Amino acid sequence: MSDPIYHLPQERRLVTELPGPKSKELAARRDAVVAKGVSSSSPFYVTEADGGVLVDADGNSVIDLGAGIAVTSVGASAPKVVANVQEAVARFTHSSFATTPYQGYVDVCERLAELTPGSFAKKSVLVNSGAEAVENAVKIARHATGRAAVAVAENAFHGRTNLTMALTSKAMPYKAGFGPFAPEIYHFPSSYPFREPAPITGEQAAQRAISYLETTVGADKLACLLQEPIQGEGGFIVPAEGYLPTLQAWCREHGIVFILDEIQCGFCRSGKWFASEYDGVEPDLITTAKALGGGLPLAAVTGRAEIVDSAQTGGLGGTYGGNPVSCAASLGAIDTMKEWDLPARARAIEAAIRAKVQPLVGTGSVGDLRGRGAMMAVEFVNPGTKDPDPAKAGQVASTLLEQGVIALTCGIYGSCIRFLPALTIPAGLLDEALDLFVEAAGN
Ligand code: PLZ
């Protein structure tokens, strides 16, 4: 394993008040022309980013624990990604795989077939965003089974398009006022160990889901069952051991396509190439995006060849899906993940987070620390209870922002702070951010 190469100094260096005058000026211009529905959780206008830092328009170098929502796992300007993009963009920006195909698309599908869980023959379709990948997975499952109903876990996040809004649990801000939603979607009770009224096993949690689906929908009506192996926006919820294998076995028994959404937790983030590997499950279809594209928009549905191939030619795709520059970036990102052994780096990040944050759990308002690899979150509660405390999470995030650390909130109740850095963040920089977190969370 070789060490990451950085072109920006990996340091927190604040040279103006935060936000600085240039970021403030851009914010004022933005107010006039950018839709209010589009949010930005930090006030820094980025000019450069690399490894664990972002540099803003005023020259402040801040620590980034968000990685563009788990996208820039290799860093935001990893040398191989930059070189591949520069080379590809100078040759051709676009041709549309739907009209005139090119090698990069095929190369990415070969990597997906090789890297995703399952030793069976696999095929992929490339699209532009995570939501589009999830939509296509559902389309494929419906086509392959001739069934309509979709089972989806509670606390899920799958996107902001019409179908994926219906699949997403949280009303504010994702759904409120944007209905009506797509029909034939059934949200089943999932596994959220911290919030079980009494401890139950993963098998019991899965049986609860199965019994709900059998009584309210019927197994023979279900095209697919969809779940994130670690729920992301829902609060970095790791289901209890045995939960996913039990659901997978039930899906196999009833011809239900088992879909795992690894858009946030996939491609080394969890400390393995795919989070499914922790549970020993092999989804029929897997959706990937975010880190797959190395920072450029790229997403995929990958799965059993016979299921993916059920859709008629011309039924899948789009103008931009698998753009050649995005494919070049993806190949650079995947090479980098291997060369810098990013699964091992993700596991080291988990160890560093546990070392600093675990002692706080159960004290004050720190209720839980959970997750895997470089996908860890703290859930805040009212002290002495399990009542979620979103105000505390928001306050900790703002305190960190004021000090030049970007940390994102998440959770079905908005009560979590998540640690989601680039997997290339240097250990010392991560420790500095964690010390500031501990100070902010502890009081
Ligand atoms: N599935 C598991 O995490 C995107 C979006 C946050 P798109 N998550 C971050 C926000 O406020 O929009 C996500 C995900 C999982 C699907 C998606 C959707 O991916 O690329 O944003 O469409």
Distance 239 CA to ligand 1 centre (A): 19
DSSP string of 41-96, one letter each residue: SS-PPEEEEETTEEEETTS-EEEESSHHHHT-TT-TT-HHHHHHHHHHHHH-S---
Long-range contacts of 1-5 (CB under 8 A, 24+ apart): 1/339, 1/340, 1/341, 1/344, 2/339, 2/340, 3/340, 4/51, 4/75, 4/78, 4/340, 4/424, 4/426, 5/79
- Cβ neighbour number for residue 241 with a 10 Å cutoff: 14
Distance 130 CA to ligand 1 centre (A): 6
Edge-to-edge strand list for the sheet holding 53-56: 46-50, 53-56, 61-64, 405-406
Integer Cα distance of 212 and 189 in angstroms: 8
Q: Give me the residues paired with residue 152 across strands.
A: 187, 226
What is the length of the chain?
Answer: 443
- Cβ neighbour number for residue 407 with a 10 Å cutoff: 27
414 contact partners, CB below 8 Å, separation of at least 6: 388, 390, 393, 394
Integer Cα distance of 127 and 134 in angstroms: 10
Nearest CA to ligand 1 atom 19: 130
Say if strands 61-64 and 405-406 run parallel, antiparallel, or are unpaired: parallel
Token pair of 236, please? 């970095």
Distance 158 CA to ligand 1 centre (A): 6
Q: What is the DSSP letter of 33?
A: H
Atom nearest to 262 CA in ligand 1? 2
Integer Cα distance of 262 and 396 in angstroms: 28
Cα dihedral across residues 67, 71, 76, 78: positive or negative:
positive
Residues within 6 Å of ligand 1 by CB:
69, 129-131, 134, 157-160, 228, 232-233, 261, 263-264, 289
Integer Cα distance of 115 and 302 in angstroms: 10
- Candidate from 138, 174, 260, 290 with most ligand 1 atoms within 8 A of CB, to mutate: 290
Token pair of 146, please? 């001739």
Q: Give me the residues paired with residue 259 across strands.
A: 226, 285
- Candidate from 263, 288, 410 with most ligand 1 atoms within 8 A of CB, to mutate: 263
Token pair of 437, please? 């977190």
Structural domains present in the chain: 21-64+342-442 (3.90.1150.10), 81-339 (3.40.640.10)
Nearest CA to ligand 1 atom 16: 158
Atom nearest to 233 CA in ligand 1? 3
Nearest CA to ligand 1 atom 10: 159
Residue 341: predicted pLDDT: 98
Distance 168 CA to ligand 1 centre (A): 10
Distance 15 CA to ligand 1 centre (A): 33
Residue 443: predicted pLDDT: 59
Integer Cα distance of 361 and 375 in angstroms: 17
Residue ranges of the chain whose pLDDT lies below 50: none
Distance 69 CA to ligand 1 centre (A): 8
Distance 72 CA to ligand 1 centre (A): 14
Atom nearest to 297 CA in ligand 1? 20
Distance 210 CA to ligand 1 centre (A): 26
* Segment 178-187, tens digit of pLDDT: 999 999 999 9
